[in-house]
Structure formats: structure tokens, C-alpha cells
């Protein structure tokens, strides 16, 4: 199980017995939401600290090398005002909930709005 830790800015890993198994992203990676797509890609949303501010970041198993990212701070389509969660549907579309933008944005598997 993955758990976002917004205080430490990382993604924790827990087993089915409730034991912490470490972290998946380096500390200081401001992960606010996570989902895993049907093809195994890990989609995360980021907060306001770190290099990829207010973005969707997609990983393929290696937490140090994102395969795709999009977004940024703003009010235009594709930008965010504090993304809080992400969900990926069976065809790869990402649904991103914004805290301060008061909306949900929908993106293709390639990150297009």
C-alpha cells in the first residue's frame, strides 16, 4: 500500500500487516495524491514544494525518473491551484481534483486536457 505523507513530502510503503516498509520517493517530493493505472504506471500529484510544483507526475517503477509530467501553478486549463488527488480510469485518463481551483480536470494518457 502506498500512503502520501504531505508533512515529510514523500510516499510511504506499507505491507498488508500494517508495517512500514520505507519510502518510495525521495523525502521532499511533495506528493499529495496517487493512483496506479491499469498498465502499472504510478500517477502522483504534487504540492507547492520541490521542483515539480503543482503537477501530475507519472512514474514507471523508478521513482527518480518520471516518464511524464504536466501542469504547474495557475488558473489556465492544465494548470493547478493545489492538486489534491488523482484517479486514473481504465483507458488511462487522469482525473485531478484541485483544492483551491474547486474543480476536477480531465487529461488524456499523454497529459492533454
Distance of alpha carbon 77 from alpha carbon 82, whole angstroms = 14
Average pLDDT over all residues of the chain = 87
Confidence of residue 20 (pLDDT cuts 50, 70, 90): confident
What 3-state class would DSSP assign to 7?
A: coil
Q: Are 71 and 56 in contact (CB under 8 A)?
A: yes
Quote the pLDDT of residue 64.
Answer: 77
Angle CA(96)–CA(84)–CA(110) in degrees, nearest 5?
30
Closest CA to 63 of 13, 26, 34, 108: 26
pLDDT of residue 50: 63
pLDDT by residue (tens digit) across 33-80? Answer: 999 999 999 999 988 766 678 999 999 977 778 899 999 999 999 999
CA pair distance 53, 47, nearest whole angstrom: 6
H-type helices in the chain, by residue range? none
* More reliable by pLDDT, 49 or 25: 25
CA distance 110 to 105: 14
Tell me: domain 30-107, CATH 3.40.250.10, correct?
A: no
Instruction: Write down the pLDDT at residue 37.
Output: 94
The DSSP output letter for 73 is B
Amino acid at each position: 500500500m502506498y500512503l502520501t505523507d504531505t508533512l515529510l513530502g514523500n510516499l510511504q510503503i506499507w505491507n498488508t500487516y500494517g508495517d512500514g516498509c520505507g519510502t518510495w520517493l525521495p523525502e521532499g517530493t511533495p506528493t499529495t495524491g496517487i493512483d496506479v493505472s491499469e498498465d502499472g504506471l504510478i500517477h502522483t500529484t504534487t504540492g507547492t514544494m520541490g521542483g515539480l510544483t503543482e503537477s501530475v507526475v507519472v512514474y514507471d517503477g523508478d521513482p527518480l525518473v518520471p516518464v511524464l509530467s504536466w501542469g504547474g501553478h495557475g488558473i489556465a486549463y492544465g494548470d493547478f491551484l493545489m492538486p489534491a488527488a488523482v484517479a486514473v480510469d481504465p483507458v488511462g485518463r487522469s482525473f485531478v481534483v484541485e483544492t483551491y481551483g474547486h474543480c476536477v480536470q480531465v487529461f488524456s494518457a499523454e497529459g492533454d486536457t
